[in-house]
Amino acid sequence: MSFESRAMTDDRAVTTTRLNHITGRSRPVAMSEDPISIGRHPDNTIRLKDDRASRFHCVVEPSDDGSCWVVRDLGSRNGTKLNGTKIDEAELHEGDVIRVGSQEFRVESAAGAEDEPGTGEESKPWMVEIAKVIEGSHGASPASMALTLIDAAGRSSEAFSGSGDGATAVSLLLQVASATGATDIHVEPKGGCHSVRVRVDGQMIWVVDLPNHVGRLVTGLVRTASGSTDTAKDAVVDGHFSAKFKQGKVNRGRVDYRVSLTPSVHGLKLVLRVLDLSRVPRSIDDIGMPTFMLDRVRRVCEQDTGLLLVTGPTGSGKTTTLYNALREVDRETRNVVTIEDPVEYQLEGVTQMPTDESRGNTFHSLLRSVLRQDPDVILVGEIRDPDTAKVAMQAAMTGHLVFSTLHAKDTISSVFRLLDLGLEPYLVASSLQLVLAQRLVRVLCDRCKRAQNVSPGDATKMGRFLGGATQMYIPTGCPACLRTGFAGRRAIFELLDFNDALRDVILDSPTIGGMKKVIEQGVFTTLEQSGWKLAAAGVTTLSEIDRVAGSA
């Protein structure tokens, strides 16, 4: 339930009217002399992801005499509506609402979008736009939230206080991240403005276009807070700072931010990675793993030797799973060491080491060093190369419990990935105890999800994993979920438990078919099948499962 803009005008001084997607959270499209086509086909100016819209649904364009704007239907199967009435062609006025499929667009004025510095206005358009996002997400007014900055040196700072545009914008953007559960904030110079987007549930969502002078103030304030002393305009900056939130008399906790500034064609692009411990699962019971998998992971955590491997793409929650597995280890009686790139969260009772390739501290070199420090349990952030893989496997066979991650499609693929790194089959077969594959799927918003009957095709596809359900749910979109139809994410898992039969296959010219034949003799649920169970329970959608774990 979103659209993608392929062409738009950024000159706010010239463009005074825009088309705003009011049932989605996407950037408004400036109405210039060029036609704006709407539909599902990629060649449209506004590309819809809506099955009720046609491939080329309608077009918004200047009239023949150039005196006004008109909307014209392009022979769509469901028609185009203007203010609730189906039309073939009609003149547009400010405030009119165009409905295409299940999506709505409002014609509105964009005057004032580029405010001049020092106008003295209390509520500028960009402030109002951000406030709408905050209030829509959790119902609280931005004015009720107080923010205290802690700079890179750990000192309280007044850099984000005051009523200036820069400080106000930074404060509001940090509140947006807090309200929406965003993991990243992007401030991108676009020539005519600085576009702000946030990553929520793995998807990029447009928030607001900041005037250029405000965008530059935001970048400068964040650079100062992160402790950077390099004033060069084209300097790459990496840093960090923190903020404490307080609503009324209630402390909302501390949030850490990792700063990245990188030069682009139009100026410095800012990305803030949001590290909010309050949103991170603090126990292995909280990550949504089925009970039979949970019991097996706990048993491995009690062992003295072996390798627990978690696979999946970047951003699939692998590190969170391993951190919570480490919490199951008795850290009082065992020496637990981690090697990470970077260390994002600190674990009590654990020695955590960051990699630093500029100093030669790679995963491989640090792992060799750690093995001389009497470890019991070692977490290696990622197995990337043959040397790290070999040392990790040997450690798992010689009295150490090793946790690590690997980029592989699923549990079976992880075995062949290790063999592709040049490891001997006996090392892989002997050291592996458990492999977990995982993905994060978006959870439907409970406020606006809508039921629909299960189609015969879906029923056949899901089989016993449908569990007798006759209805599943689809996203609709509301202010609380930023019009996406989803609110939050949860993990789906696939577990491969190594036994003697499986080890024999690995030792004797392993094939995918041979491994599957052994696996299917026991209890095994694929990632896709785990997702089907959630879809049948109304937690997510089949299309979401196809997106993250589909077999095609």
Q: Per residue in 399-415, pLDDT tens?
A: 999 999 999 999 999 99
Nearest to 442 by CA among 310, 546, 318, 314: 546
Contacts of 505 (CB under 8 A, 6+ apart): 514, 515, 518
CB 98 within 8 Å of CB 105 = yes
Query: For residue 120, is pLDDT > 50?
Result: no
> Which range, of 54-63, 77-86, 117-126, averages the lowest pLDDT?
117-126
Q: Can you give the pLDDT at residue 144?
A: 65
Q: pLDDT per residue over 335-363, tens digit each?
A: 999 999 989 888 999 999 999 988 999 99
Q: Can you give the pLDDT at residue 141?
A: 66
Q: Can you give the pLDDT at residue 33?
A: 85
Cis peptide before 425 (omega within 30 of 0): no
Query: For residue 252, is pLDDT > 90?
Result: no
Burial 323-341 (b: 16+ CB within 10 A, else e): bbbbbbbebeeebbbbbbb
Cα dihedral 412, 417, 419, 425 in deg (nearest 10): -30
The 3-class secondary structure across 308-355, one letter per residue, is EEEECCCCCCHHHHHHHHHCCCCCCCCCEEEEECCCCCCCCCCEEEEC
* The two three-digit tokens of residue 525, written as one number: 């649920």
Amino acid letter, residue 356:
D
> Which range, of 6-10, 153-157, 388-392, averages the lowest pLDDT?
6-10
Q: Can you give the pLDDT at residue 32?
A: 82
Query: For residue 248, is pLDDT > 90?
Result: no
CATH class of the region 125-278: alpha beta
User: Stretch 465-480: mean pLDDT, rounded?
Assistant: 91
| Residue range 284-439+490-524 in CATH 3.40.50.300 | yes
Its pTM stands at 0.82
Amino acid letter, residue 228:
S
Q: Can you give the pLDDT at residue 4?
A: 40
Q: Which fold has domain 3-109?
A: Tumour Suppressor Smad4 (2.60.200)
> Which range, of 105-119, 188-202, 449-463, averages the lowest pLDDT?
105-119
> Which range, of 59-68, 163-172, 223-232, 285-294, averages the lowest pLDDT?
223-232
* The two three-digit tokens of residue 301, written as one number: 């955590």
Beta bridge partners of 46: 5, 38
**Domain residue spans of the chain:** 3-109, 125-278, 284-439+490-524
Report d(CA 308, CA 406) in Å as an integer. 11
Determine what percent of the chain falls in helix, strand and coil, rounding each to the nearest 5: 30, 30, 40
Query: For residue 290, is pLDDT > 50?
Result: yes
